[in-house]
Amino acid sequence: MRADPSSRLGLLRVLGAPDEARHASAAGWSALIATARDANLLGALAQRLDAAGVRACEPAQRHLEGIRRMGERQQLSIRWEAHQLQAALGGLNIPVVLLKGSAYVMAYAAIGAGRLFGDVDILVPKAALGDVEASLMLHGWAPAKTDPYDQRYYREWMHELPPMSHLRRGTVLDVHHNILPLTARNAPDPAAILARSQALDGLPSLRIPCPEDLLVHCLTHLTHEGELHNGLRDLNDADQMLRIFAQTAGFWERLHAVAAGNDLAGPVALGLSLAAGLYGTPVPADLVQTLEAPLPRSRRWTRWFDTYRTALLAPSNGPVGLRVAWARQRIYVRSHALRMPLGLLARHLARKAWMRRRSEHTEPPEN
């Protein structure tokens, strides 16, 4: 293996060229598996190696087979949950748009292959939130957060209801009415996303975002996130989408129109730069500059490229150097600043710190 298997750059090289791992040593395979697991890309690695006909040494191969089977079970689970959502929400006569991983599984097998999931995300019209929540509760979903402040935080300021969990299946469902918080600097129009969404065969109430909105949401989520534990995985999703969607005539022009028209040109410009810089994703040379051209230099998102690159390539666990710690801290602070105005943010963080401190002091002593 020519690339260092213990580094995330080495992992990205193997994802792009699986043959590089064909003659790896047992120690090299062990390091590669550990790195992929840390980045939440082990499923994607297993899928790429299998497609290329590359087989690992026996201990590593068992890990790859295990994660592949887990991914297949999760995909079946997502399909089952989609049918349950159709049963729960089909009578409301509203569009129910699957987002992120569930949309990949239901409509784009190549993007969803090998991906592991934490929850199911849907987008519905804001005016229908009350009916949606009531219908979901009648079908077994219940709020996962019951603290009054958390309830207020989600319902007044965020772009989604408090997470819901199914009482029997344990499925976590996030019900969105927008893709960014109501208080965020960027203000995408969810009605436009709903209007551009596409029907899903066999499930008349469920829809998926158009390809451009699917990609824009992925990049927007990545570049607004404060902690990048799944950052490389999300960027892998974007890389796969770009390679597939770009085969359709007019995709780049439509992507520009959707990103700029929905106040998300900056996040998309940074996301495209990261995909091209880390995954080698083919992106038209002038697209990023065109997206950012209307923005003042001080507000251009690509100024953050090096900071994000540093954070994305660092391992999630274990000690890190000052440069990585500083990059992570900057991204964390920036994510909160993007999400809320300063005054509201200060009150929110103070409240959460007080609640955390109170919880620590009220925990029962250990026996």
Question: What is d(CA 306, CA 98) in angstroms, rounded to the nearest whole number?
Answer: 32
Query: What is the per-residue pLDDT for 151?
Result: 72
Which is more confidently placed, 257 or 358?
257
Share of the chain above pLDDT 90, in %: 71
Whether 41 has a pLDDT exceeding 70, the answer reads: yes
- Dihedral sign, Cα of residue 192, residue 193, residue 194, residue 198: positive
Query: What is the per-residue pLDDT for 283?
Result: 96
Secondary structure element (H or E) that encloses residue 132, with its range = helix 129-138
Residue 276 is given by DSSP the state I
- CA 138 remoteness from chain centre: 29
Query: What is the per-residue pLDDT for 344?
Result: 66
**Residue 213 half-sphere exposure, CB side, CA atoms within 13 Å?**
24
Query: What is the per-residue pLDDT for 242?
Result: 97
Share of the chain above pLDDT 70, in %: 91
Contact 47, 68 (CB under 8 A): yes
Query: What is the per-residue pLDDT for 367?
Result: 41
Query: What is the per-residue pLDDT for 173?
Result: 95
Question: What is d(CA 85, CA 2) in angstroms, rounded to the nearest whole number?
Answer: 47
Whether 362 has a pLDDT exceeding 90, the answer reads: no
Contact 235, 312 (CB under 8 A): yes
197-242: per-residue pLDDT in tens? Answer: 999 989 999 999 999 999 999 999 999 999 898 999 999 999 999 9
Question: What is d(CA 299, CA 186) in angstroms, rounded to the nearest whole number?
Answer: 12
- Dihedral sign, Cα of residue 258, residue 89, residue 111, residue 270: positive
Q: Tell me the range of 140-154, 173-187, 263-277 where mean pLDDT is highest.
A: 263-277
292-313: per-residue pLDDT in tens? Answer: 999 888 889 999 999 999 999 9
Query: What is the per-residue pLDDT for 157?
Result: 74
Q: Which pLDDT band, with edges at 50, 70 and 90, does 366 fall under?
A: very low
pTM: 0.89
Longest dimension (CA), the chain: 67
Place of tokens 């209801």: 161
- CA 177 remoteness from chain centre: 17
Domain boundaries, given as residue ranges, for the chain? 1-56, 70-209, 212-367
Please, what is the average pLDDT of the chain?
A: 90
Instruction: Please determine, looking at this structure, whether the domain spanning 70-209 carries the CATH number 3.20.20.70.
Output: no
Question: What is d(CA 290, CA 177) in angstroms, rounded to the nearest whole number?
Answer: 29
Whether 268 has a pLDDT exceeding 70, the answer reads: yes
Question: What is d(CA 265, CA 274) in angstroms, rounded to the nearest whole number?
Answer: 14
Burial string for 287-319 (b: 16+ CB within 10 Å, else e) reads bbeebbeeeeeeebbbebeebbebbbbbebeee
Q: Which pLDDT band, with edges at 50, 70 and 90, does 359 fall under?
A: low
* Partners of 176 in beta bridges: 123, 160
Whether 6 has a pLDDT exceeding 80, the answer reads: no
Using DSSP's 3-state secondary structure scheme, residue 173 falls into strand
Query: What is the per-residue pLDDT for 296?
Result: 85
